C-alpha cells in the first residue's frame, strides 16, 4: 500500500481576541485608512442590524435574518471584490452588499415584503437574496462559467452557511468549478448552527473547507471574526480566480450571535455559555482594540461615529417606511418580458376586483 494523495487545510488568523496582531500579519494590516474603513463598515452594519431587529419586534418589518457576529466576514468579502465581479448571497450578507452599493432601504424593503428590495441599488448583475439553501453556489459557478467562456476577467463569489455545505448544490458547484477551472470563490460562513442543528451534526468532515478538496479547489480555513485575515484570504482567492488560477473554498469560522431569524428562539437549543464565550471572540471589539492601540480610535470618536451611523440608518428606515406599496398589477408585470395572454386575463381580473384604480 502507498499513499496516492495527501492534503492539508491551512488556517489563517492574524488578529486575536485582544486586538493583538501576529508577526506574520500581511501588509494590509499596516494600512490604517483601510483598517478604519473596515471598522466603520462593520460597525455601521451592526447598528443597521440592531435597528432591523427592533423594527421587526415593533411590527414594522417582516421576518428578518440578522447578521450579528458576521460583520468581519461579510465586509471583508465585499471589500475584496470588484464591482464587475458577481455576488451570489444567501440571505444575511448585507455587509457584502453595502460595500457593493446596496442600500439599507433595499434590505428593509425585501424583509418588509416588497420585491423592489431585490431590484437593489448595488450592481445590477448581482443576484438577490437566496432563501433555498446553497442553490446560489451553482448559480455563481454558472456565472463564473459565463465569465470564462466570454473571457471576462471577472469572479463569481457565493456565500453559504455551514448547513449549506450539506447540500448537493454546494458539491455540484465545487465539482464543476474544479472540472471547468472556473473563477469561482465559494465562501462558507461557518457560524456553527444551521437553525438548531450544530455543525458537528452536519458532517463528519474535520473542516468544511476540505469539502473543496474533493472538487480540486484551493481550500482554506480562516478566522471569520478577524477582518484582516478575512480580507487577506479573500483578496488572494479572488485574484487567483481572476487570473485563471482556479477556484477556492474559504471557510470563515465565526459564530451566529443572534437567533437564526427573528422567527427563531435559539435559547431552546443553544447553551448560554457557548454564546457568552462567542461574544468574547466577536469581530468588532478586537478591531476596535487594535485601532485604539494605534491611537486611531477612542470613546469620543466611537460616540461621534455612532451618532452619524444611526442618523444614516434612520434616514434609510424612513425612506423604507415612506415607500408606498406597489400597485396590485405589479404581481403580473414582471413575470415575463411580455405578458402572455393567460396572465393578461388574470391581471385584468385582479384590476376589476380592485375597482380599476391601479394599472
Partner 1 sequence: MAEVTLIEAVTQALAYEMRQDPSVVVLGEDVGVNGGVFRATAGLHAKFGSERVLDTPLDETTIAGLSVGMAFQGMKPVAEAQFDGFIYPMMDHIVCHAARMRTRTRGRLSCPMVLRAPWGGGIRAPEHHSEAPEALFAHIPGLRVVIPSSPARAYGLLLASIRDPDPVIFFEPKRIYRQYKEEVPDDGEALPLDVCFVLRDGTDITLVTWGAHVKETLEAADRLAAQGISAEVIDVATVKPIDFDTIQESVKKTGRCVIVHEAARTGGIGAEIAANLAEKSLFDLLAPIERVTGYDVPIPLFRLEMKYLPSVDRILAAAQRTLAYR
Catalytic positions, written as ranges: 256, 260, 269
Residue 352 interacts with partner 1 (CB under 8 A)? no
CB of 236 to partner 1, least distance (A): 23
CB of 83 to partner 1, least distance (A): 15
Q: How far is CA 291 from CA 72, 114, 309, in A?
A: 15, 39, 18
Residue 228 interacts with partner 1 (CB under 8 A)? no
Burial of 238 (0-12, 13-18, 19+ CB in 10 A): buried
Q: Which of 60, 116, 235, 285 binds partner 1 (CB under 8 A)?
A: 116
Which grid coordinates are listed for 2? 502507498
CA distance 78 to 50: 20
Q: Which of 1, 5, 149, 300 binds partner 1 (CB under 8 A)?
A: 149
Q: Which of 128, 161, 212, 224 binds partner 1 (CB under 8 A)?
A: 128
CA distance 94 to 253: 18
- Closest C-alpha among 148, 221, 222 to residue 178: 148
DSSP string, 50-76: HHHHHHHHTTSS-S----TT-HHHHHH
Residue 336 interacts with partner 1 (CB under 8 A)? yes
For residues 183 and 150, the answer to whether their CB atoms sit within 8 Å is no
Residue 137 interacts with partner 1 (CB under 8 A)? yes
Stretch that binds partner 1, among 68-76, 166-174, 265-273, 281-289 (CB under 8 A): 166-174
Residue 175 interacts with partner 1 (CB under 8 A)? yes
Which grid coordinates are listed for 243? 487570473
Q: Which of 17, 34, 50, 139 binds partner 1 (CB under 8 A)?
A: 139
196 three-state secondary structure: coil
Stretch that binds partner 1, among 202-210, 281-289, 305-313, 335-343 (CB under 8 A): 335-343
Q: Which of 57, 125, 267, 293 binds partner 1 (CB under 8 A)?
A: 125
For residues 157 and 88, the answer to whether their CB atoms sit within 8 Å is yes
Stretch that binds partner 1, among 16-24, 121-129, 205-213, 257-265 (CB under 8 A): 121-129
- Closest C-alpha among 240, 94, 224 to residue 162: 224
Residue 188 interacts with partner 1 (CB under 8 A)? no
Binding site for partner 1 (CB under 8 A): 86, 88, 115-116, 118-119, 124-125, 127-128, 132, 135, 137-147, 149-150, 156, 168-169, 172-173, 175-176, 179, 330, 333-338, 340-343
Amino acid at each position: 500500500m502507498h499513499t496516492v494523495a495527501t492534503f492539508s487545510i491551512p488556517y489563517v488568523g492574524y488578529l486575536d481576541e485582544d486586538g493583538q496582531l501576529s508577526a506574520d500579519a500581511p501588509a494590509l494590516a499596516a494600512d490604517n485608512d483601510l483598517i478604519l474603513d473596515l471598522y466603520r463598515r462593520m460597525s455601521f452594519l451592526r447598528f443597521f442590524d440592531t435597528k432591523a431587529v427592533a423594527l421587526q419586534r415593533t411590527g414594522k418589518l417582516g421576518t428578518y435574518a440578522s447578521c450579528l457576529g458576521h460583520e468581519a466576514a461579510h465586509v471583508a468579502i465585499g471589500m475584496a471584490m470588484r464591482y464587475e465581479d458577481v455576488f451570489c448571497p444567501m440571505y444575511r450578507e448585507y455587509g457584502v452588499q453595502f460595500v457593493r452599493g446596496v442600500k439599507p432601504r433595499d434590505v428593509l424593503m425585501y424583509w418588509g415584503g416588497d420585491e423592489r428590495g431585490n431590484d437593489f441599488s448595488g450592481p445590477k448583475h448581482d443576484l438577490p437574496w437566496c432563501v433555498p439553501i446553497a442553490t446560489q453556489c451553482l448559480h455563481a459557478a454558472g456565472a463564473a462559467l459565463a465569465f470564462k467562456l466570454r473571457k471576462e476577467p471577472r469572479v463569481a463569489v457565493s456565500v453559504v452557511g455551514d448547513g449549506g455545505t450539506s447540500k448537493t448544490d454546494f458539491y455540484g458547484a465545487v465539482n464543476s468549478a474544479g472540472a471547468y477551472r472556473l473563477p469561482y470563490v465559494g465562501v462558507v460562513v461557518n457560524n456553527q448552527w444551521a437553525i438548531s442543528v450544530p455543525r458537528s451534526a452536519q458532517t463528519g468532515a474535520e473542516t468544511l473547507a476540505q469539502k473543496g478538496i474533493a472538487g480540486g479547489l484551493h481550500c482554506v480555513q480562516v478566522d471569520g471574526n478577524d477582518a484582516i485575515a478575512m480580507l487577506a484570504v479573500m483578496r488572494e482567492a479572488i485574484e487567483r480566480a481572476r487570473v485563471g488560477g482556479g477556484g477556492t473554498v474559504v471557510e470563515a469560522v465565526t459564530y451566529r450571535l443572534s437567533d437564526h431569524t427573528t422567527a427563531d428562539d435559539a435559547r431552546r437549543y443553544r447553551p448560554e455559555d457557548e454564546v457568552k464565550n462567542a461574544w468574547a471572540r466577536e469581530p468588532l471589539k478586537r478591531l476596535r482594540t487594535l485601532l485604539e492601540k494605534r491611537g486611531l480610535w477612542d470613546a469620543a470618536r466611537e460616540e461621534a461615529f455612532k451618532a452619524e451611523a444611526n442618523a444614516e440608518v434612520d434616514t434609510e428606515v424612513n425612506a423604507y417606511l415612506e415607500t408606498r406599496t406597489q400597485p396590485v398589477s405589479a404581481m403580473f408585470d414582471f413575470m415575463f418580458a411580455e405578458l402572455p395572454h393567460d396572465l393578461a386575463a388574470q391581471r385584468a381580473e385582479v384590476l376589476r376586483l380592485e375597482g380599476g384604480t391601479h394599472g
